[in-house]
Each structure stands twice: as structure tokens, then as C-alpha cells.
């Protein structure tokens, strides 16, 4: 069984036991959270997840250049992420 849930402003298709990376959540590591499923919500449906760790994503290099102008600049970015595990999906 799978469910489509909205976590931190993004939608994910999740299954029981799956581990996914989402944008940084405010919950502490090891805490559990539950979400309502569906739009409009499905009565009785519930998804429970555990925050495993907070981490950073891979570095992305942003490079800008304009031809023949002598302009170039480089910038890096690492997104803050949370790794969560889906514990259960109930109907």
C-alpha cells in the first residue's frame, strides 16, 4: 500500500519502511509525527513517520558568466535536509 502525502510543502509517494529526504523539519531527531492523507482528507487515513537525522545535501555550484565582459562569479549551495522513515500507513 502507498500514500501520497504533503511534507514541508512538497508531495511524496510513500510506502511503509521507505526512507526519504525532505526539506529541513523543525522536529528533533527521533521524534514521531503523523499526517492526514488526501485532499480533501480521507477519513481514518493516517501516515506515521520518524525523523532519523538532519543533514545537508550535496554541494551545488552556481556559476554565472557574461561573454566578452570579463564578468564571472561562482557560488555554492548545500540544502538543509531531514531524513525520515515511514513507520505505518493506516486506512
pLDDT in tens, 5-40: 888 889 999 999 999 999 999 999 999 977 666 666
Q: Which domain holds residue 11?
A: 2-90
pLDDT in tens, 30-77: 999 776 666 667 777 889 999 999 999 999 999 999 999 999 999 999
From residue 18, alpha-carbon distances to 13, 27, 58, 64, 65 in Å are 10, 19, 21, 38, 41
Domains identified in the chain, total number: 1
pTM of the predicted model as reported, rounded to 2 decimal places: 0.79
- Residue 20: count of CB within 10 angstroms of its CB: 16
Q: What percent of the chain clears pLDDT 70, i.e. is strictly above it?
A: 93
Amino acid at each position: 500500500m502507498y500514500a501520497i502525502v504533503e511534507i514541508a510543502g512538497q508531495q511524496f509517494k510513500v510506502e511503509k519502511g521507505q526512507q526519504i529526504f525532505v526539506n529541513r523539519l523543525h522536529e528533533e531527531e527521533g521524534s514521531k509525527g503523523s499526517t492526514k492523507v488526501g485532499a480533501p482528507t480521507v477519513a481514518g487515513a493516517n501516515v506515521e513517520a520518524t525523523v532519523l537525522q538532519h543533514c545537508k545535501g550535496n554541494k551545488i555550484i552556481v556559476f554565472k558568466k557574461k561573454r566578452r565582459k570579463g564578468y564571472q562569479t561562482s557560488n555554492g549551495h548545500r540544502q538543509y535536509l531531514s531524513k525520515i522513515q515511514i513507520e505505518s500507513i493506516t486506512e
